[in-house]
Amino acid sequence: MHQRGIRWIKVGGLFGVLLASLGCLKREEFPAEPSIAYKSFTQYGDSASLVISFTDGDGDIGLDESDNQPPFDVGSDYYYNLFCDYEELRDGVWTPVSLALPLRYRVPRITPTGQNKTLEGEIAVALAWPVIPDAEVDTVRFQLRLLDRALRSSAQVATEPIIEQP
């Protein structure tokens, strides 16, 4: 009987050390404003996929359909939360091009579970490709920016130069 008690203490002590060490694991922490990084651009004939990674320290990325009251109402600057600006390389200079339909997206709400509200993930954007058919240039890039629900903006990031594949 005495041996069982000693075994229990050893196992219990080991379990306590394990719990204590798990409590010391470093929790990933990010700033409250979103941060994005360019990941990839892939062409698929008449379409393309642009992928960015993101982090957000307080987990307020994305909008639901019900998020339609000011400042997220239709027609406001904040209805969309992912902004993708198109630029062409003309005579060695990146030139912004205004499109008839701006590349604006409404990223769906992402809700973290548990106590840790930090978010980290990827967003893929589907594009018609080329963006401007029969353009006189073959090298373009995109400038991207992400807003969270507190209207904090990520820094703007650019894709690598993209050469249209025939």
pLDDT in tens, 88-97: 999 999 999 9
Rounded Cα gap, residues 81 and 108, in angstroms? 9
Here the tokens at position 17 are: 């050390």
For residue 139, pLDDT over 90 is answered with yes
Q: Does domain 35-163 have CATH number 2.60.40?
A: yes
Cα 149 to its chain centre, rounded Å, is 13
Of the candidates 42, 46, 50, 48, the residue with the CA atom closest to the CA atom of residue 133: 46
Q: What percent of the chain has pLDDT over 70?
A: 83
Of the candidates 97, 80, 84, 82, the residue with the CA atom closest to the CA atom of residue 41: 84
Q: How many C-beta atoms surround the C-beta of residue 66 within 10 A? A: 8
pLDDT given at position 23: 41
Here the tokens at position 54 are: 């993101």
Here the tokens at position 102 are: 């701006």
Q: Domain boundaries in the chain?
A: 35-163
For residue 9, pLDDT over 50 is answered with no
Tokens 């010391």 sit on residue: 24
